[in-house]
Amino acid sequence: MIILRLEAERLHRYRVLRLADLPERGIIGLSGDNESGKSAIGEIICFALFGRTFALPGERIGKLVHWGAGEGAVTLRFRVKGKGYEVSRNLTRDGAQSARLIALEAADAPLARADGVTPAIARLVGFGFDDYVETCYLAQREIASPHPHSPAVRAMVGAAPLQACATALDVELGEAEAAQAARRERRLALAEELAQLAPEAGRGQALERQLAEIGEREAQLAERMQALQGASDAYSTAYRRHGSHGARRALAGLLANIALLAVLAAGAIWAMLHFQPATWPMPVLIAWLEGLIAETGLTTHAVVTAVMVIFGGFLLLTWLWLAVLALGLRRRRARARRLARELDRLDSLEPLPARLREAPGAGSLVTAGDGGEAVASTAAGVEGDLGLVIDRPDVERRARLRQRILFLEAAVAEVCSALEHEAVWLKRDLERLHAWQAATRQGLARLRSEGQRHQAVIQELAKLDQEILAAEEWMATRRLARDLLAGAARDLSRRFSSGLRDMVSRALPRFTEGHYEFLEVDEDLQVRVYSSDKRNLLDLDEISSGTQRQIMLALRLGLAQELVARRVRDDQFVFLDEPFAFFDSRRLRGALKNLSELGGELTQYWVVAQRFPQDAPIGLEIACGQHPDTLTLGFPEVS
């Protein structure tokens, strides 16, 4: 990458900066007193390329705008591999930027805009900001030894991808080791749990048989209670209706007798009218009847016949009533017999088995462990509460009550009282069954849950063993890969150090006037220099600071040359801000001469100094500070 033109407005100390007709090879000297704007040109070039500078971090980049102005702009034209490009950036005081990158041969079709400009330039020129400031841009600071683990050096060495892979492997191994430790802890916990989950043989079948027996007994008791309640309700209804049966039966009998007598009397009168109308008292009766019906137009025979039919109908109704009363009596007695049968069925019920009446025995069968003790105590508590109920009446009292019920002589209150005792007795057993059914189901559910958990633990242990084995193999493979990557990175570092040493050793005698001939650079970029005077390798702290700067400058140029050779593969500019600050005129002239004769891909050197010797080998000297905030070269003067 070679700079062809630089234009800036209202940036840094310059209100106008316009540099054109720049030589593509050789040294471009920037001279001037302190605060004359020499270093500002390097900062503006850096901002044009990457949108940031070495001196100003991203959050303070707005300070690059010229004082008193609200915004600034820069345009940098450069050449890469024979093609011309131009990047333009605008910057406001609050740090907002806009940018555009174009190819000169197609200026109407920008290659990138805004945030995409900096990555596009990095792809185009072959390096980014970090690589640039580590190699091709020497800002005004102490020239220090390059750090072996800096991104730029790692990229130049070629170890950056290897180290990135090794770092990723370390992260993966750390996560895998933590996961493996968690698996081992989980396996230990599962093994302890499996030892406690020892299913008892035949226990489940015993619980299922007991549950079936309890269900059958519970259904039997529930059926008897429901039937007893229904028979009791039917008897109560029958008894209440039976209370008025005698009066209704007597009334119906009386009315039937009266109707029968009336029918007989009417029949006798009708017969005498037909066969013996002259026999006393028929004449009197006929005269009386004729007087009664004289105005009706009816005959005596018709009236007597109608009376006889009416009383006959009434007699039939009374007989029907008596039949209905007899049918109702039979129904009520059937209901009474139903209640008596239900009481007989209660007597025929078998008592509860002892294991269901006694809480300790049942509890030991249903469950085991802490949960079983809780269930047994719960059932025992139910048994204790139900043990306070009234005992069932004796057999003789129940027999007498049964006889009175059959004859509908037992009052509803008496029957209800007796049945209440029977119901309490039934509920006692039913509640016992409910409690032990719940306990049995709980024990069976726990047993099934333990069995399922036992199988699940076995399966999970087998799966964990497979995962642990696979993880060990996976981690062993990653450790081997990490070691191989580390070895490859060390080998690359050694090769890079060797090549860098050879490259720097060609420039070192030139900068040190032959006092130091070659360098020794190890894989960590630690530098030792061979002194021809002392005929020995010296550490940097054994030589003067000025010579150290010369050696570090040679090393910096070597790194820049290596970056260009590996990634740019084209002519490259270098910006050196006062690299020879402590050189006298003679040494400065020699250093500049040697710099111009180094060769390689570094062809355009921007060198900053307060002044240059008159006969220095400089292709173009740009004098800064002649105007307070304006610098123009290759353009018409701007007033």
Assess whether pLDDT exceeds 50 at residue 383: no
Cα–Cα distance measured from residue 25 to residue 5, given in angstroms and rounded to the nearest whole number: 14
Note the pLDDT of residue 120: 94
Whether 484 maps to a domain, the answer reads no
Do residues 134 and 251 share a domain? no
Residues contacting residue 50 through CB under 8 Å, at least 6 positions apart: 118, 121, 122, 128, 129, 132
Looking at the chain, the whole-number percentage of residues with pLDDT higher than 70 is 77
Residue 83: which CATH number?
Answer: 3.40.50.300
Question: Where a domain ends, among 350, 383, 401?
Answer: 350
Residue 173 Cα distances to 360, 480, 550, 603, angstroms: 58, 11, 44, 47
Whether 171 maps to a domain, the answer reads no
Kindly state the tokens that stand for 348.
């025929």
Residue 492 Cα distances to 112, 157, 498, 502, 555, angstroms: 35, 6, 10, 15, 18
Report, in angstroms and rounded to the nearest whole number, the Rg of the chain calculated over CA atoms.
61
Assess whether pLDDT exceeds 60 at residue 34: yes
Strand-pair partners of 576: 138, 607
Confidence of residue 581 (pLDDT cuts 50, 70, 90): confident
Q: Determine contact, residues 514/590, Cβ cutoff 8 Å.
A: no
Question: Where a domain ends, among 310, 325, 350?
Answer: 350
Whether 234 maps to a domain, the answer reads no
Whether 383 maps to a domain, the answer reads no
Q: Which of 44, 99, 137, 139 is nearest to 128 (CA)?
A: 137
Q: Determine contact, residues 50/118, Cβ cutoff 8 Å.
A: yes
Assess whether pLDDT exceeds 90 at residue 118: yes
Note the pLDDT of residue 566: 74
Q: Determine contact, residues 101/110, Cβ cutoff 8 Å.
A: yes
Note the pLDDT of residue 72: 95
More confident residue, 507 or 82: 82
Q: Is 623 left (phi over 0), alpha (psi -120 to 50) or beta?
A: beta
Note the pLDDT of residue 144: 52
Three-state helix/strand/coil letters over 95-123: CCEEEEEEECCECCCCCEEHHHHHHHHHH
Q: Stretch 17-37: mean pLDDT, rounded?
A: 91
Question: Where a domain ends, among 303, 320, 350?
Answer: 350
Do residues 117 and 248 share a domain? no
Query: Domain tally for the chain?
Result: 2
Residue 269 Cα distances to 143, 155, 276, 301, 305, angstroms: 161, 147, 10, 9, 9
Confidence of residue 525 (pLDDT cuts 50, 70, 90): low
Q: Rounded to the nearest 5 degrees, what angle is found at the Cα of 8, between the Cα atoms of 4 and 12? A: 125
More confident residue, 535 or 441: 441
Alpha helices in 243-299 (DSSP H): 245-275, 282-293
Dihedral sign of CA atoms 220, 224, 227, 229 in order = negative
E strands in 63-203: 71-80, 83-92, 97-103, 112-113, 137-138
Q: Stretch 348-363: mean pLDDT, rounded?
A: 54
Do residues 139 and 6 share a domain? yes
Note the pLDDT of residue 554: 75
Q: For the ranges 86-100, 125-139, 312-326, 579-593, which has the lowest average pLDDT?
A: 579-593
Q: Stretch 462-480: mean pLDDT, rounded?
A: 92
Rounded (10°) CA dihedral 612, 616, 619, 625:
10
**612-637: per-residue pLDDT in tens?**
888 888 989 999 987 878 999 987 65
Residue 296 Cα distances to 197, 293, 300, angstroms: 108, 5, 11
Note the pLDDT of residue 516: 65
Whether 448 maps to a domain, the answer reads no
Q: For the ranges 64-73, 369-378, 452-461, which has the lowest average pLDDT?
A: 369-378
Q: For the ranges 317-321, 468-472, 509-513, 590-594, which has the lowest average pLDDT?
A: 509-513
Note the pLDDT of residue 269: 82
Note the pLDDT of residue 210: 76
Kindly state the tokens that stand for 562.
């290596």
**360-371: per-residue pLDDT in tens?**
333 333 433 443
Q: Which helix (H) or strand (E) holds 437?
A: helix 412-511
Mean pLDDT, the chain, integer: 78
Note the pLDDT of residue 512: 66
Confidence of residue 429 (pLDDT cuts 50, 70, 90): confident
Q: How many residues does the chain have?
A: 639
Confidence of residue 381 (pLDDT cuts 50, 70, 90): very low
Q: Do strands 630-633 and 14-19 pair parallel, antiparallel, or not at all (unpaired)?
A: parallel
Assess whether pLDDT exceeds 50 at residue 376: no
Whether 615 maps to a domain, the answer reads yes
Cα–Cα distance measured from residue 512 to residue 514, given in angstroms and rounded to the nearest whole number: 5
Do residues 138 and 255 share a domain? no
3-state DSSP assignment of residue 144: coil
Assess whether pLDDT exceeds 60 at residue 156: no
Assess whether pLDDT exceeds 60 at residue 176: yes
Do residues 128 and 255 share a domain? no
The Cβ of residue 240 has, within 10 Å, a number of other Cβ atoms equal to: 11
More confident residue, 382 or 267: 267
**473-499: per-residue pLDDT in tens?**
999 998 999 888 888 877 766 666 665
139: domain range? 2-145+560-633
Whether 589 maps to a domain, the answer reads yes
Do residues 11 and 121 share a domain? yes
Whether 321 maps to a domain, the answer reads yes
Q: Which helix (H) or strand (E) holds 210?
A: helix 203-242
Confidence of residue 350 (pLDDT cuts 50, 70, 90): low
Note the pLDDT of residue 445: 82
Q: Which of 41, 104, 43, 64 is nearest to 632 (CA)?
A: 41
Cα–Cα distance measured from residue 554 to residue 143, given in angstroms and rounded to the nearest whole number: 10
Confidence of residue 158 (pLDDT cuts 50, 70, 90): low
3-state DSSP assignment of residue 608: strand
Dihedral sign of CA atoms 347, 349, 354, 357 in order = negative
Q: Determine contact, residues 428/366, Cβ cutoff 8 Å.
A: no
